Each structure stands twice: as structure tokens, then as C-alpha cells.
Structure 1
């Protein structure tokens, strides 16, 4: 281990009493906490006893760089003082209020969110998170159009609630998807792993749009209420749609009166270097869903932003849906503070510089250095490293839907060296807080660079 990494890992911040509290937390966790997406007896969760900025301290007092922004939501890092102070002040002024009442924090949050979207996206229905935002977006589209079918992409992720998991296009839906909720999946544009044999981005756009057009026709265009797409697919691999694809989807929706729902839960609020990832393309969706980065995940919040025409459907007709904590004042106050901090601190500009000057060049170097790296891709502070057994065939380190043991070894090696990226299947995602320093980001990329030697060894043994 390098001297730099050693210095970063132990800094004496965590006291013995904090470590003892961490041991107690781990003990109680293992006795009583049921973890998501996990076989309960096969996990060993990392205890976190403190966190600040881009760093966490584990139960042993070790300092670990958060290259995943938790589940890609701490866009402003941990303990951002302006967001923390806003939550404190709101708790003292008005800690909670039912959603049928107006309150200042919720109203201001709605204004700040809609101000950063197209002119006709003026209305926000607040939810508790991303999954229920997507559920309600589909409900609104169905009621607005009078149609039932919804098209969603394979490899997508839209949440873990009933309809959201059916909208999801990855293997996590298998145990719950009975193909009875009106969801039809299609192949998205994905240049690196093209389903259409494309060799160029232009071919991929044309062929993927032809495929989508065929699916719409075969399902009955007058039966389709909405198309749901992640603006930039996140958990599935952070693959930016090729030029013209999103615009082509928008055109198909317009031709057939289909609502375009863009899921910005992970990619929104600066993650992709713009306020919303779809602003990289020349499209204006009918509905945008959000969560995660809206308030850096400090208090749970999500939402549906609808355009004026969908709002009009419910102007004199009750919308059949609601949530007890919709627009909770503490979450709304955190959102106001987070958006204002991103603006005043130049976070988007910082992300764009990091993308061009650090993420892009460093990850290109890593790809060139490691035969196990088949592809690196991303935008903003939203990047993926895809690991393969063979660059020519693009065979992943493990079959789709599975995780090779070497991936867990890589994650363990990263943690031992002082950084934790996000892992899914055969990929590492590098998605740190948006305000991470260059120094810290370069340290994290050094850690990943070293850990990828394990993947190279795995490939060499094949």
C-alpha cells in the first residue's frame, strides 16, 4: 500500500467510544435489521460511525472515500453545513405538517425545481422517493391518456415497489414480475452492447428507434400510455444514449400521443453535469421524476414534475393518489438549501471541469492499462468501468445478472486501500459527491487503478 493511501486511511478522528458504539450498532444490525436486495446471512455490512464531505469513517476508525455517494445520492457529500442548518431551522419552525396544507419550504422547493426545467413543467407532486415517483408518474399518464400499456427498457431500474419493479428491466424484477401490470419491455440504445449488431452510434440510434417503433406498432400505438426511460441509465451501466436517440423517442411519442416520462432519480440534480441529465439532449419530456440528489439524500424525498397539459387533466378532477409525507417540510427545506448551495458554490461548473480534466483522462488511462477493462464511459460525475474477460468478444467477467467473486475481491481491496466505489454485476461505478476535490478524486482513482490488478489476474487465468 502506498504511503499516501496509508495516511488517508487512519487519521485518529474516531474515538474509542465511537468505535464501541459502532460495534454495538453492528451487533444490533445483525440481530434485527433486514437489508434490501440481500441474502441476510451472507452479508457483512460496513459500519459507518461518522461521515463528512466525501469521506466516511468505519467502525474501526478507518477513513474511507465515498466514491459511490452512498447509493448515488449524496450529491453535496456528507454534513454539508448549509443543508444541515436548513434542516435544523425547519425543525424548530415547523417540523411537520400534513400535505393538504401549504407551507413555505414545500412551495419554495417546488419553485426551485421547476425553475430548472422547461417552461411548461410547472407542477410538482412530491413523493417519499424515486420508486413511488415513478408509480405516480405512470398513474398520471394512464389517467391522462385513458390508455394502460407502458413501455420500459430492458436494463433499466425504476424502483422496488410493485409497479416500479415491473417497470424495471434488470434481473431484480424476476421474482416479482408476473407480466400482469401492462408493462412491455423493449431494447434500448446501448452502443457498447448493441442488441442490433450496430458498429457505430449512428447505426445504433437508427436501429434502436426502428425496434421501438415496431414494438409500439405491435402493441398497438393507441394502447400505449407512456414510455418510461432513464435520462441516462444509471444502475444498468451509465451508458449515455447515442446522438439522436432521445430526440427520436420524443418524436415517436408526439406522433402517437404517448407520454414521455424521464426518470431523473439518479441522474438529476447535477450528477450528469447539468441540472437534469435530459438537458444534454434536445428533448422536453412530459413528466420528469426525481429523488436522491434533490436534497443530497439528507431527508427522504422524491417527486413527479408534470407539464401543464397533464396538470390540466386534474384541475377539476381529483387525482386519486397521495402520501402522508408528501413534501415533508424537513425534506423540502433540505432541497431548498441543497439547490441554493449548488448554485452559489458553482457545483455544476466544478463537475464539468472534473469530467473533462480528471474523470475522462484518468479513466481512459485506466482502460489502456488494464486488459480487464472493456469500456469506460460517463458524463459529469457519473462514470462506469465495465470489466470483461475478453475485450474483443466483450464477454463480461460474469454472466448477466450474476456477480463474479473477483468483483467482491476488488471491492474489498478498494476498501482496504481507503475508497469504496459502487458495484453492479461486472461494473464499478465511480460516482463521488459532486463537490469532491481533485486531490480526493485522484486518490480514489489511484485506489481503483491498483485494485483492478485483481481483475487482470482473473482474466489472465482464463
Structure 2
């Protein structure tokens, strides 16, 4: 294409977007300006060919990278064979996708209910928990995000819950976060112990016999990549077992390679009753999510009808994309690579940045799942103001790097296929921009 034509395509894309597209979580009077026309691996381009290194993985979901040929090929082949079929049918692609997921799940979890994304995965996990226990309440943390549908958004702990509180039976509690502890803790062990005591008291105060489930992100993502302290998840499991409460682990963002493990909970001494997933299971190439169900809960519906379903549950194109993605991740060692690049490249690079720039209050994460907590004052840990964070984000994008920014944090969340050289390139941009911040 000529330079003028490609520039015209970028302008046309912006014009059509501003005129006709209604964006999520946005004031519509300020439409986005970044145009993305194509991508490959860790990079994307606009129509004029300007390149960006994607350290957001879009919405922390493109784990395998953009346009992986194995996933694209799997979708294409399925489209030529059968583009769509209803969920009441038996379809080989659906069974193959479910088997690949349950093969990586804990023993005794052999069934998958497929959804269109992570929000309705959590919605249906909550429905299953209520039906299995005969109880109503769901406990979740304030620092959490579980999706934008009825029960999922009310389970969410951040500001997005407040204008959407239409669902019943939801109670929130504080999870562990040592850097901004609600419990006056000074060590990870103290934070774990005190957070568990707090949860125990909430359970007692709410009435254990009224609580169907505790819903937790294994590693809270949008809230700031809050790696749980030692013993916390095992302690939650013990509290649930003591009171007949189910444990739902939300692996929508942290699953399928993001932490350097197939499931994030594989790194902790815990087994959930239900697992919600989406995003990384097929890197978002086709909308899909689901719930991995324990055999005990699945047995409830052998004779009783499960009162939930979606027109596109188990859609064959989505199923093919799961098979293509998980097979490629296995054969190419992508999950192990995410663990290694996190430990050997990302962790040391971000630690060095924090030592250099006082604006970085804390670095935390694992695998390709990290956050820089930006502060106005390192002593008080006062978060950096939103306006300054916005300026930082703009300066990073101007330099050809796509960041994931939430509140006062830069989330360093590249695809699992990122190289050490690309980590170095991104770190140089963070370094340059953060060097302009006066703290």
C-alpha cells in the first residue's frame, strides 16, 4: 500500500470508531486513537506500519501471542468443516477441547461447562455452587474483578461493582496484600495469618450455613497482581471444608501459562471445587470461557436439569482454537518458557528499575504476570495521582510500547512467548519514562 493510502485507512478506522462504536468502561466523548490492523507474536501494527511491542497482551489474554499459525490454522480448518452447531449436539472438537483442559486439572475434575467468556464462567460457577449447597451467599474480596454480568460484577470488589449492584447474596472481605495491608502486618506470614482470621470472622458473622462459596482469583490480576502469601489459599480451603463451603478459583486471567504454570493454583497447596477460565485457554482468538467442575458437583446434574445454557456454548470455532492453542503451548514449551523468562529476565529487570526509580514502590509477580506499584511518596506509599499515571502511559505508547495500566500501576504482562531481548527493550522504555517522574 502507498503511504497515503495506509494513512487514510488509519484515519478511516478512527472516523468509523468515533461515529459508531460504543466502548466499554469509557466516557464516549474521548474515543481511543490507537489503531491496530495486524499483529504477530508480541508485536502489533497500525495500517501505516508503525510497530508496537505489546506488553499488555491486550487484556492480559493473548498468552500465546498474536496470530500464532497453529491456532489460526485450527480455526480455519474447523470453519471449513463445520462453522457452528448447537450445544445439545455431540461434537468432536468440543470433546477434544474439554479433554485437554481436564487433563491439566486436578484429579476428580472431569467435566467442563463451556461459556462465551470469563464473566459468564463465574456466573455459572456461582449458580452451580448455590444449587449444590442449597445456600445463597457468595464471599469474594474487595480487590477483585470477576466480570461484567449480574452475579459476576457484584462479586467484583472494585469500583465497577457499585453502579451495578443488582444481584443478591454477595458479601465482600479483604484479601491479603502486604504492601497495603489492612491488617497492620509486617511479614508475609503475619499477613496470611491475619487475613485468614479476618475471613474466619466474616464467615462466622455471616453464618456459615448461609454461605455457598468463596470466590477468589488465585492471583488477583486487575487489582494489582497480588501473589498470595504462604499458607493463605490452603487456609481458605480449610475454612471452606470446615463449614461445607465450596471454593471457586477464578483462573480467567492468571490461568494457562500466565504465572508460568498451567493453572496458577498449581503453585499452591490447594484444590478448588470449581475453576472458572477464559482468556489464556485460547488467547482470545475466539470468545470462550468455561467452568471445570468437580465430579461430585457434576453428579448433581446427572438426573436433575442444570438450569443454565448459552447458544454458543462449546462453539466449534472456539473449541478448535482451544485445541490448537493448548497443543502448541505444550509442544513448544511455552508455559515453561513463561516461567523461565519471568524468573531470569523480567524479575531482575524490574527489580533493577525499582532500585533506580523511587516512584516504584513495589515490584511483584511471577511468570509473565507482574505489576509496578507507582507511588508519590515511598515512605507513606501514597499512590501516584491518576493524571501523572495517564501521562506516563501516553509517553510509553509514544515510544512504541503498549502497557497495561490500572489505577496507579503498570502491569507488565507480555505474551508468554516474549523474549529476553524484548524484555530488555521494554525495560529501557519504562526506564526512560519513569526517569521523568519527580518523587
TM-score tier after normalising by the smaller chain length? over 0.9
CA displacement, residues 171-224 of structure 1 (integer Å, 9 cap, x when unaligned): 11111125x510000000111111000000110011000000000000000000
Specify which of 207, 226, 250 is matched with residue 239 of structure 1: 226
Q: Secondary structure at the match of 2:179?
A: coil
CA displacement, residues 289-312 of structure 1 (integer Å, 9 cap, x when unaligned): 000011010000000011001001
CA displacement, residues 325-382 of structure 1 (integer Å, 9 cap, x when unaligned): 0011001100001000000001112111111111110000000000101000000000
Q: 1:16 to 1:82 in 2, by over 3 A?
A: farther
Who is 1:355 aligned against? 342
Shift of 1:440: 1.4
Give the TM-score taking structure 2 as reference length.
0.98
CA contact (8 A) 2:18 2:31 kept: no
1:78 aligns with 2:66: yes
1:418 aligns with 2:400: yes
Cα distance in 2 for partners of 1:352, 1:229 equals: 23
Who is 2:411 aligned against? 429
Who is 1:195 aligned against? 182
Which runs of structure 2 are paired with 1:257-336 in the superposition (5 Å)? Answer: 257-336=244-323
Which runs of structure 2 are paired with 1:111-126 in the superposition (5 Å)? Answer: 111-126=99-114
Which runs of structure 2 are paired with 1:20-419 in the superposition (5 Å)? Answer: 20-177=8-165, 181-398=168-385, 404-419=386-401
Q: Secondary structure at the match of 2:140?
A: strand
CA contact (8 A) 1:388 1:426 kept: yes
Shift of 1:441: 1.8
Q: Secondary structure at the match of 1:150?
A: strand
Shift of 1:102: 1.0
Aligned residues: 439
Q: 1:75 to 1:88 in 2, by over 3 A?
A: same
> Which one is further off, 278-287 or 49-58?
49-58
Q: 1:45 to 1:259 in 2, by over 3 A?
A: farther
CA contact (8 A) 1:83 1:334 kept: yes
CA displacement, residues 147-181 of structure 1 (integer Å, 9 cap, x when unaligned): 00000001100001121110000011111125x51
Shift of 1:59: 4.6
CA displacement, residues 240-270 of structure 1 (integer Å, 9 cap, x when unaligned): 0000000000000000110100000000000
CA contact (8 A) 1:66 1:419 kept: yes
Unaligned runs of 5+ in 1: 1-12, 399-403
Give the TM-score taking structure 1 as reference length.
0.93
Cα distance in 1 for partners of 2:317, 2:3 equals: 30
Q: Secondary structure at the match of 2:29?
A: helix
CA displacement, residues 117-140 of structure 1 (integer Å, 9 cap, x when unaligned): 101111100000000000000000
CA contact (8 A) 1:287 1:307 kept: yes
Cα distance in 1 for partners of 2:379, 2:165 equals: 34
CA contact (8 A) 1:19 1:61 kept: no
Cα distance in 1 for partners of 2:113, 2:2 equals: 41
> Deviation above 3 Å: which 4+ runs of structure 1?
13-19
Q: Secondary structure at the match of 1:335?
A: helix
Shift of 1:144: 0.3
CA displacement, residues 266-298 of structure 1 (integer Å, 9 cap, x when unaligned): 000000100000111010000000000110100
CA contact (8 A) 2:6 2:48 kept: no
> Which one is further off, 438-447 or 17-26?
17-26
Q: Secondary structure at the match of 2:177?
A: coil
Cα distance in 2 for partners of 1:270, 1:47 equals: 28
CA RMSD of aligned residues (A): 1.2
Who is 1:17 aligned against? 5
Shift of 1:70: 0.3
